[in-house]
Structures are given as structure tokens and as C-alpha cells.
Amino acid sequence: MWGSIIGFIGKKAVELLGPKLAAALVSSKAKMVLIIITVISVAGAAGGFWWHYTSLKKNYEECLKEKGQYEVALKTTKESFKAYRTSVTAQLEQMKQQMNLLRQKYQESEERANELGKLLAKHDFAYLAYRKPGLIERRVNDATARMFSDLEKASRDFARRGKPSESSSNVPSP
């Protein structure tokens, strides 16, 4: 085997360097030097390949560890996003219910305001207040006090719980 390698090297040396220089290189001492250089080169290449293989293997193992960490982080993120989405959906439903309740209360107050407007249109309260000031003044003052009390209570309840109380509409009916 070595003989064929040396022969091949000799033939190439003759082609590249010429016959005199090639003959000097292919001498027995030169053959030994070429064998040593070849062995050292092959050993160096094998060592380089081994180092490269082990570094790739180490790098691959590190990548697998990182992949596992990223998968755990992704799973945690998905779970937290799902919980957040559920929470936001629940809050949205609660807000819709509150809006419907407020819309209903607003409609009721509009109807009540229309009824009171009709009542005011039917009666001449200026004349009645002029003729019986104590009667009208007391009723207006009592109703105003009730309205302010209800407004304070509704504001307090809304600030505490986020929704108006059901008993905040104590407006007397005619």
C-alpha cells in the first residue's frame, strides 16, 4: 500500500518538478520523510475531523436543550394567553350586561321624564305655587333630596362594585 502511494507521489513529483528533483525526493531518506509527513498529515486531519465532530455534537446537544426551554416557554405563553383571553371575554360579557342594564335604566328614566313632562304640561304649577307655596315647596324639596341621595348611593355603589344598585331608582311615581 505504501509503495503504491510513494509510487504515485513519485510519478506526480516527476510531472511537476522534473526528473532530477523528483529522483532526489524519491530516494530512501526522502521516502521515509514523505511517509512521516503523510502519517502526520493524516493524523492531523483525523484529529481535526474528530475535534470538529465532537464540537458539532456538543453544539447539537446545546441546541436540543435550548429547544426544550423554548418549547416550555411557548407552552407557558400559550396557557397564559388562553387564560388572558378567557378573562377578557368574561370582562367583555360583564360589560355587555352592564351596558344593557344601563340602557334599560336610561330607557326607564326617559319614560319617567316623558310622564313628568306630560304631568307638568297638564298643570299650572306656577299658579299652584303662588296660591299654595308650602305644599309645592315641601314636595319639590323632598323629591330633590331623594334624587341627590339616590345619585350619591348609585355613585358609591358603582365605585365599589362597578355597577349601580337596584334600589337607586326610588323616584316616586305620580
Q: Count the residues in the chain.
A: 174
pTM of the model: 0.40
DSSP 166: G
Phi-psi map region of 124: left, alpha, beta (phi>0 left; psi -120 to 50 alpha): beta
Give pLDDT tens digits for 33-72: 777 888 888 899 999 999 999 999 999 999 999 999 999 9
Give pLDDT tens digits for 95-148: 999 999 999 999 999 999 899 888 777 877 777 778 888 877 888 889 899 999
Burial class (CB in 10 A: 0-12, 13-18, 19+), 171: middle
Give pLDDT tens digits for 70-85: 999 999 999 999 999 9
Q: Take residue 148 and report the three cell numbers written for it.
A: 341627590
